[in-house]
Amino acid sequence: MGEVLKQLEEEVIEDFEDETLYERLWGLTEMFPDSLRNATAKSADYTVLGTKKLYRFVRSAMWVGTTGFMILVVPIVFEQERFNMEQQQQQHQRQILLGPTAAVSGVPSGMGMAPPPPSR
């Protein structure tokens, strides 16, 4: 009995042809009406078309955004960094020349102060 079942299984397996997923899906389309198949095909075509257009738009928008950023914002960032470096260098020079307290106050000690008013 076991050998007979084994032979039948082998014969059944040999009778079936291997189908690809595409072949199976194409065979299933025959059970739907033409109007539904056409509507599905059109919606798939429009989806692909819309995706391509969206990709082109996003690509162009990203290019405009990044080049605008590079032209408008990056020079400001560089100038701010240069200004900060100059301030640090001036503070360092004051610290070297006048001592550590001069660098903190920002005004050299003893300079820029008005003399006391004369007393009568």
Domain edges within the chain: 22-100
Q: Is the pLDDT of residue 33 over 60?
A: yes
Q: Whose structure tokens read 């539904």?
A: 36
Q: For position 13, what pLDDT does the model report?
A: 64
Percentage of the chain lying above the pLDDT 70 cut: 80
Reported confidence tier of residue 99, pLDDT bands at 50, 70, 90: confident
The pTM of this model reads: 0.49
From the list 56, 51, 52, 26, the residue with the least C-alpha distance to 40 is 26
Q: Is the pLDDT of residue 38 over 90?
A: yes
More confident residue, 55 or 20: 55
CA angle 16, 17, 21 (to 5 degrees): 120
Q: Residue 22: how many CA atoms within 13 Å on its side-chain side?
A: 0
pLDDT digits (tens, 9 = 90+) for 70-83: 999 999 999 999 99
